[in-house]
C-alpha cells in the first residue's frame, strides 16, 4: 500500500449505537492500526429531519468506553475539519453544480404533490412503488424535460429544486469488494437519487463521496445494508473525475438474530432479554431507556472481543483476543460473507473469560462503581482511591481481596454485588429454611460456644478460626461437615460464597459474632 491508510466510521447520529455499528468501528480501527493508518470519525448529519439530540455525544462516549479512540473527529480535531457534514454545507454545492454542468445530474423542480401524484399515477401491479428513474424522469418537471429558457427562469426565480443523479439507462457498474470479491449492478435498477436537497444540503450519497475524497479515505468499510447504494457512489466517483482515488470498499456482513432469521434489531433484544446497544440509550423524545452492554455489566474488553468474532476469526480456534492481538491478527479478507448469528450465551461466556483473566486491581474501579450504583455506601472513595487516606487504602485492600475470592463466580459486573455484598453489609435475609430441618439443641449449644470462643480469640485468621471450630465440634461429638452449612448461612445468608473461614476472617470478629447470634435468635423463634 503506497498511500497512508485512512479509514472512517461515518455514523448518522440518529439514536443509540447498535452492536453492528460498534463492530463497524472496530473493524475500521483494527485495519487502521494494523496498517499504521488513521481512523477518522465523521458525523453524517445532513438529514436534519433525523437529527436526535444527544446521539453524537453517545457515539463518542461509546467509543471511549470501548477504547477505540479516533485519530480525527469533531471531538478530536484534525487536518480535514470540520468533521460534521452539517458544518461542511458550502463545500458540496460546487460538486453538484459540476455534475449538472457535465450532464451527469439535473435539476428537478417537482413539488411534493407532483411526486405523490407520480407514485399514484404510475403504480401498477408489477410496479407497486414507482421510482424517479430513467423511465419516469421524462414525465417529470426537470431540466431534462423543460426548455433551457424555462430552467433558467425557474432558477432565477428561486424556485425550490433538488439536484438528481442521471442514472445511465443500461450499464453495468462493478467494483471489487474486499470481502465479497467482484460485485456488479445494472444501473437500470437504480433510481435517480437526490444529491442536493432544496435547502442546499447534500444527501448522504453526495456528501459521502465528496468527503471520502476530500478526507483522502483509502478504505471504506460499512454495513452490508449500504451495498445497494454502491453503484450510485461508484458513478459519482467517476463523474467527478476521481476514480483513481476511489477507496477500496468492504461491506460487512449483517449481525443476525440468534435463530439466523433476519437482522438483529433492538426489538429482538427487548423480546429475548439481552442488550443490543453498546451503552444505555435514552430516547430524548419518549424518555424510554434501552439497556446497553456496559450497564448490563460487560467489560469493554469482552465486548470488543465478542464483536470481533462476530463475522471474523483468525483461522484457528482462538476466541479470546486482547485489542493488541486483534490488531495483529485482523485481516479484512477473513471477514465472512454471510451474516453472523448473535448468541447471547456466548457473549456472556466472553465476559466471564475476561473477568477471570483480569486482575483484581484491573477490576477494582468498575466493581466499586457497581457497588456504588447498587446503593452501597463508601464505594465512591474506594473507586477514586483518595491518596493518603488510610481508610480508603484499607477499603481498597479489602475490595481487592474480595474480588480475588469471588471473580471466578461472576459473569456480569452485577454478580460482584450478589456474590460479594455480604462482605460489606450483613445479609438482609438468611436462608434458615435450609438449616431448620436438621437443627438440634446440640447444634445450638455448639454455635453458642463457637461465638463465645470467637469473641475471645486474640488472633483473627482463617486457619485459627477453623481450628477453633474443629476443636469445639469434636468436643460436642458433632461432625464438622454438618456444621459448615449452618455457619455459611449465618455469615453469607445463603448457600454460596468462597471458604467460610476466609469469609469470617475478612468480615471480622464483630460481624462474625453478630451474624451467628442473629441467626441463632431467628432459629430459636421458628
Ligand atoms: N452515514 C451512513 C450510516 O449512517 C454511513 C454509511 C457509509 O459508511 O458509507 O451508516
The whole-number average pLDDT for the span 306-320 is 97
Domain check: are 246 and 260 in the same one? no
Burial (0-12, 13-18, 19+ Cβ within 10 Å), 157: exposed
Residue 161 is predicted with a pLDDT of 98
The Cα–Cα gap between 98 and 95 comes to: 5
Domain check: are 243 and 128 in the same one? yes
For the chain, how many residues are written?
Answer: 526
- pTM here is 0.91
Q: Which domain holds residue 400?
A: 358-423
Q: Are residues 256 and 210 in contact, defined by beta-carbon separation less than 8 angstroms? A: no
Asked whether residue 12 is assigned to any structural domain, the reply reads yes
The Cα–Cα gap between 177 and 333 comes to: 10
Q: 224: Cβ below 6 Å to ligand 1?
A: no
Domain check: are 262 and 231 in the same one? no
Q: Are residues 255 and 26 in contact, defined by beta-carbon separation less than 8 angstroms? A: no
Domain check: are 408 and 261 in the same one? no
The whole-number average pLDDT for the span 23-39 is 98
Q: Among residues 379, 404, 423, which one ends one of the domains?
A: 423
Domain check: are 448 and 386 in the same one? no
Residue 357 is predicted with a pLDDT of 96
The Cα–Cα gap between 364 and 358 comes to: 10
For 69-90, what is each residue's pLDDT tens digit?
999 999 999 999 999 999 999 9
Share the mean pLDDT of the chain: 95
Name the grid cell of 232.
450510485
Residue 2 is predicted with a pLDDT of 72
Asked whether residue 186 is assigned to any structural domain, the reply reads yes
How many C-beta atoms lie closer than 10 Å to residue 452's C-beta? 13
Supply the DSSP symbol for 4. Answer: P
For 33-74, what is each residue's pLDDT tens digit?
999 999 999 999 999 888 899 999 999 999 999 999 999 999
The whole-number average pLDDT for the span 494-522 is 97
The whole-number average pLDDT for the span 359-369 is 94
Domain check: are 476 and 368 in the same one? no
Residue 461 CA: distances (Å) to CA of 7, 418, 453, 504: 58, 25, 13, 8
Name the grid cell of 241.
473525475
The whole-number average pLDDT for the span 486-491 is 98
Q: 142: Cβ below 6 Å to ligand 1?
A: no
CATH number at residue 107: 3.90.800.10
The whole-number average pLDDT for the span 314-333 is 97
Asked whether residue 167 is assigned to any structural domain, the reply reads yes
Ligand 1: residue of 6, 8, 9, 11 to mutate (most ligand atoms within 8 A of CB) is 11
Domain check: are 245 and 104 in the same one? yes
> Is residue 1's pLDDT more than 60?
no
Asked whether residue 349 is assigned to any structural domain, the reply reads no
Name the grid cell of 291.
439497556
The whole-number average pLDDT for the span 102-124 is 97
SS (H, E, C) 302-365: HHHHHHHCCCECCCCCCCCCCHHHHHHHCCHHHECCCCEECCHHHHHHHHHHHHHHCCHHHHHH
Asked whether residue 352 is assigned to any structural domain, the reply reads no
Task: Report the separation in Å between the CA atom of 11 and the middle of ligand 1, taken as the mean of its atom positions.
Answer: 5
Domain check: are 46 and 165 in the same one? no
Domain check: are 67 and 178 in the same one? no
Q: Among residues 403, 423, 443, which one ends one of the domains?
A: 423
The whole-number average pLDDT for the span 107-132 is 96
Q: 229: Cβ below 6 Å to ligand 1?
A: no
Q: 11: Cβ below 6 Å to ligand 1?
A: yes
Asked whether residue 31 is assigned to any structural domain, the reply reads yes
Q: Are residues 347 and 306 in contact, defined by beta-carbon separation less than 8 angstroms? A: yes
Residue 388 is predicted with a pLDDT of 45
Task: Report the separation in Å between the CA atom of 14 and the middle of ligand 1, taken as the mean of its atom positions.
Answer: 12
Task: Report the separation in Å between the CA atom of 21 and the middle of ligand 1, taken as the mean of its atom positions.
Answer: 10
Domain check: are 163 and 47 in the same one? no
Q: Tell which atom from ligand 1 comes closest to the C-alpha of 21.
A: 10
Domain check: are 338 and 363 in the same one? no
The whole-number average pLDDT for the span 111-132 is 96
Q: 12: Cβ below 6 Å to ligand 1?
A: yes
CATH number at residue 331: 3.40.50.620
Residue minimizing CA distance to atom 10 of ligand 1: 11
Q: 10: Cβ below 6 Å to ligand 1?
A: yes
- For the chain, the helix, strand and coil percentages under 3-state DSSP, each to the nearest 5: 50, 10, 35
Supply the DSSP symbol for 10. Answer: -
For 390-433, what is each residue's pLDDT tens digit?
556 568 899 999 999 999 999 999 999 999 999 999 999 999 99
Q: Which residues are catalytic?
A: 266
Task: Report the separation in Å between the CA atom of 513 and the middle of ligand 1, taken as the mean of its atom positions.
Answer: 62
The Cα–Cα gap between 26 and 40 comes to: 12
Residue 122 CA: distances (Å) to CA of 34, 132, 192: 52, 11, 16
Q: 247: Cβ below 6 Å to ligand 1?
A: no
Domain check: are 379 and 473 in the same one? no
Asked whether residue 286 is assigned to any structural domain, the reply reads yes
Q: How many domains does the chain have?
A: 4
Q: Among residues 217, 252, 287, which one ends one of the domains?
A: 252
Task: Report the separation in Å between the CA atom of 176 and the middle of ligand 1, taken as the mean of its atom positions.
Answer: 19
Asked whether residue 511 is assigned to any structural domain, the reply reads yes
Bond preceding residue 82 cis, omega within 30 of 0: yes
Amino acid at each position: 500500500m503506497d498511500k497512508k491508510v485512512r479509514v472512517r466510521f461515518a455514523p448518522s447520529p440518529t439514536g443509540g449505537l447498535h452492536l453492528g455499528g460498534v463492530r463497524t468501528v472496530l473493524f475500521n480501527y483494527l485495519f487502521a492500526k494494523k496498517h499504521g493508518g488513521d481512523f477518522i470519525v465523521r458525523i453524517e448529519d445532513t438529514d436534519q429531519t433525523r437529527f436526535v439530540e444527544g446521539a453524537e455525544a453517545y457515539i463518542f462516549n461509546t467509543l471511549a468506553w470501548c477504547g477505540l479512540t479516533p485519530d480525527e473527529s469533531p471531538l478530536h480535531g484534525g487536518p480535514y475539519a470540520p468533521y460534521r457534514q452539517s458544518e461542511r454545507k458550502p463545500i458540496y454545492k460546487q460538486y453538484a453544480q459540476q455534475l449538472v454542468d457535465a450532464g451527469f445530474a439535473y435539476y428537478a423542480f417537482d413539488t411534493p404533490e407532483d411526486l405523490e401524484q407520480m407514485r399514484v399515477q404510475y403504480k401498477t401491479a408489477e410496479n407497486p412503488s414507482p421510482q424517479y428513474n430513467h423511465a419516469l424522469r421524462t414525465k417529470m418537471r426537470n431540466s431534462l424535460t423543460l426548455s433551457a429558457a424555462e430552467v433558467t427562469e425557474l432558477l432565477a426565480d428561486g424556485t425550490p429544486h433538488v439536484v438528481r443523479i442521471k442514472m445511465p439507462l443500461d450499464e453495468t457498474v462493478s467494483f471489487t469488494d474486499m470481502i465479497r470479491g467482484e460485485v456488479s449492478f445494472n444501473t437500470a435498477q437504480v433510481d435517480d437519487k437526490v444529491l442536493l436537497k432544496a435547502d442546499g444540503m447534500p444527501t448522504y450519497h453526495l456528501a459521502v463521496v465528496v468527503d471520502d475524497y476530500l478526507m483522502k479515505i483509502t478504505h471504506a468499510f460499512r454495513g452490508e445494508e449500504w451495498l445497494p447504494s454502491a453503484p450510485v457512489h461508484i458513478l459519482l466517483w467517476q463523474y467527478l473525475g476521481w476514480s483513481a482515488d476511489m477507496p477500496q470498499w468492504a461491506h460487512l456482513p449483517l449481525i443476525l438474530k440468534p435463530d439466523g432469521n433476519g437482522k438483529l434489531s433492538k426489538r429482538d433484544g427487548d423480546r429475548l432479554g439481552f442488550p443490543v446497544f453498546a451503552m444505555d440509550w435514552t430516547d430524548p423524545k419518549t424518555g424510554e431507556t434501552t439497556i446497553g452492554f456496559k450497564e448490563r455489566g460487560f467489560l469493554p474488553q469482552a465486548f470488543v472481543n465478542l464483536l470481533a468474532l462476530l463475522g471474523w476469526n483468525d483461522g484457528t480456534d482462538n476466541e479470546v483476543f486482547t485489542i493488541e492481538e486483534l490488531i495483529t491478527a485482523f485481516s479484512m479478507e477473513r471477514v465472512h460473507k454471510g451474516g453472523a448469528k448473535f448468541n447471547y450465551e456466548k457473549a456472556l461466556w466472553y465476559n466471564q473469560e475476561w473477568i477471570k483473566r483480569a486482575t483484581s486491581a484491573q477490576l477494582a474501579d468498575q466493581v466499586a462503581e457497581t457497588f456504588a450504583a447498587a446503593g452501597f455506601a463508601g464505594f465512591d472513595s474506594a473507586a477514586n482511591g483518595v491518596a493518603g487516606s488510610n481508610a480508603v487504602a484499607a477499603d481498597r485492600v479489602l475490595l481487592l481481596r474480595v474480588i480475588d475470592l469471588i471473580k471466578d463466580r461472576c459473569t456480569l459486573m452485577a454478580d460482584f454485588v450478589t456474590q460479594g455484598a455480604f462482605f460489606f453489609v450483613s445479609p438482609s435475609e438468611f436462608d434458615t429454611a435450609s438449616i431448620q430441618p436438621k437443627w438440634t439443641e446440640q447444634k445450638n449449644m455448639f454455635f453458642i460456644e463457637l461465638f463465645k470462643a470467637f469473641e475471645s480469640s486474640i488472633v483473627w485468621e482463617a486457619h485459627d478460626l477453623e481450628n477453633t471450630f474443629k476443636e469445639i465440634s469434636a468436643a460436642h461429638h458433632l461432625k464438622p461437615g454438618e456444621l459448615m452449612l449452618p455457619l455459611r448461612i449465618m455469615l453469607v445468608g445463603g448457600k454460596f460464597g468462597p471458604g467460610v473461614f476466609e469469609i469470617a476472617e475478612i468480615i471480622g470478629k464483630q460481624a462474625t459474632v453478630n451474624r451467628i447470634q442473629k441467626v441463632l435468635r431467628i432459629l430459636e423463634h421458628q
